[in-house]
Structure 1
Amino acid sequence: MDNETKFCTKCGRRIPINAEFCSFCGTKQPQAKPVTGSGSTSEGTANSTETPVQTSPKPSIIVEHTAWFKTPLGIGGIVVAVLIIVFGIGKVYSYNNPDTDSIASSMQSNITSDDDFGSATVHYSDSSQTFDIDIPESSTAMTNLDNGYPSIWNSLVKQLKTKSANLDNDYTSDYSYIQVMSPYNKKRVYLQIDHGNVKYNIADDLN
């Protein structure tokens, strides 16, 4: 068949391919669709009306990353770090600012636990930065010392040397100075210890 003509669907006469109506019988004609590719018009039409197969897109995999400080290990590390910092600050503050009243009270309790020292008292002097100890003249320790028997006195000296050394290690050197005042003259010193070392001991004058 001529590519520029077609046959009427009713009377079968040859008419132009683009004719909408048959020029012989007047019947409306179906419009021919353009042929694509090889093969007949019907095959081309069939091929052109095929519905393409649509494939669903693959779902994207989203990996969520949790911030390290939100994990149990991260939170635990932060807590430990904070505790270390707080402890360090407290340690530094305590090192430079000890509770002198508590230290004096503890020292006094240790001394008075021995009846030989009577009702001895200990207090910290801010002006001289010393722990001052007052022992009653009526105590056994002082009576024996005055009579030339310093054995009880020397036991106190040994105890205070250890205390001074501990204070020197635990705090600044400003808090390791200990002295025992004379029971007869408060301006006179019977014993001076600093950094765990005896600077003056009245018992040495007895030798």
Structure 2
Amino acid sequence: MLNTVHIGGAVRMAQETTKKCVMCGKTIPAYSNFCPYCGAKQPWLEDDEVQNKDARKLLKWYQKPVGKFVTLVVSAIVILWFGSLFSLQDGPGHNKVARELTQYFFNAQDHTPYGDKPSVKADKKKGVIVKIDQSSKAMKNLKAGKPAQWNYLVKRAQNRSKAFSGIYADQINAKFKVVDKHNPKKVLLKVNQGKVTYNIADKYSK
């Protein structure tokens, strides 16, 4: 297709490269990624199809080792940047997660079946640590063969751990641990990526 271009009284003929849409068959500009008529995505032009010199040079540059290297570096930076958006950070990020989990586990109540003022901490190196009272009503019921309240806490820990494993880049955030608030070394429950790896209830069910 020839277009007439007027420049300073002179007439110049400029060639415009076109192609056919792969879906509807209508004539569209050669460098269209999508058909303006039917919206169909168009295939990338091969090197011998590219008529524009600048586009051809750019394509050849990307095909060279340096072009491929730059593309990989840029891609890596973008991936790392997106990953950082979903990683727990120090400070407010951890506090926000802790508040959300306190609401989720204990409805933000001070007096619960798991003792008074149970706490949740989101630690960058240790994961999520939930502190409850081992002498609480829920634990006494568990020992007495009534595990309903304890199982509720276990299920909630599993759900959040599994969700965090899909949200956060650092899988340490998917590690949940429930301990006795009076003796933090006393572990009552461990959950990793939604799977229970230790449950003190197994001790009482034997």
Q: Give the TM-score category using the shorter length.
A: 0.5 to 0.7
Which position in structure 1 is the counterpart of 2:29? none
Deviation by residue 1:62-81 (Cα, 9 ceiling, x = unmatched): 79xxxxxxxxxxxxxxxxxx
| Residue type of the alignment partner of 2:186 | R
Which residue does the alignment assign to 1:60? 10
- Provide the rounded CA distance (Å) in 1 between the counterparts of 2:87 and 2:100: 19
* Aligned: 1:91 with 2:78: no
Residues 1-207 of structure 1 mapped to structure 2, 5 A cutoff: 59-61=9-11, 91-98=82-89, 99-113=93-107, 115-117=112-114, 118-127=116-125, 129-137=126-134, 139-171=136-168, 172-207=170-205
The letter for the 1-side match of 2:103 is S
SS of aligned partner of 1:149: coil
Shift of 1:112: 1.5
Q: Structure 2: which amino acid aligns with 1:188? A: K
C-alpha RMSD over aligned residues? 3.1
Structure 1 residue ranges without an equivalent (≥5): 1-57, 64-85
Q: Residues 94 and 123 of structure 2 are in contact (CA less than 8 Å); yes or no, is this contact kept in structure 1? A: no
Conserved 8 A contact 1:181-1:188 = yes
> 1:189 Cα shift?
0.1
| SS of 2:183 mapped into structure 1 | coil
Distance 1:150 1:170 in 2: 30
Question: Offset of 1:183 from its aligned partner?
Answer: 4.2
Amino acid at match of 1:173: Q
Shift of 1:184: 4.7
Instruction: Give the 3 Å change call, closer, same or farther, for CA 62–139 of structure 1 in structure 2.
Output: farther
Q: Structure 1, residues 76-122: CA drift from partner, whole Å, max 9, x if none?
A: xxxxxxxxxx9966532123444222212211111121743342110
**Counterparts in 2 of 1:161 and 1:170: CA distance versus 1, 3 Å:** same
Unaligned residue ranges in structure 2 (runs of 5+): 1-7, 14-76
Q: Is the 8 A contact 1:112 1:119 kept in 2?
A: no
Structure of greater Rg = 1
Q: Which has the higher contact order (CA 8 A, sep 6+)?
A: 2
- Shift in alpha-carbon separation, 1:126–1:97, aligned structure 2, 3 A: closer
Describe the SS at the equivalent of 1:187.
strand
Query: How far apart are 1:148 and its partner, in Å?
Result: 3.3
Q: CA 1:105–1:87 in 2, change beyond 3 Å: closer, same or farther?
A: farther
Normalized per residue, which structure has more strand?
Answer: 2
After superposition, the Cα gap between the structure-2 partners of 1:169 and 1:154, relative to the gap in structure 1 and judged at 3 Å, is same
Give the Cα–Cα distance (whole angstroms) in 1 for the partners of residues 146 and 192 of structure 2.
24
Q: How big is the shift at 1:123?
A: 0.6
Moved over 4 A (4+): 86-90
Aligned length: 129
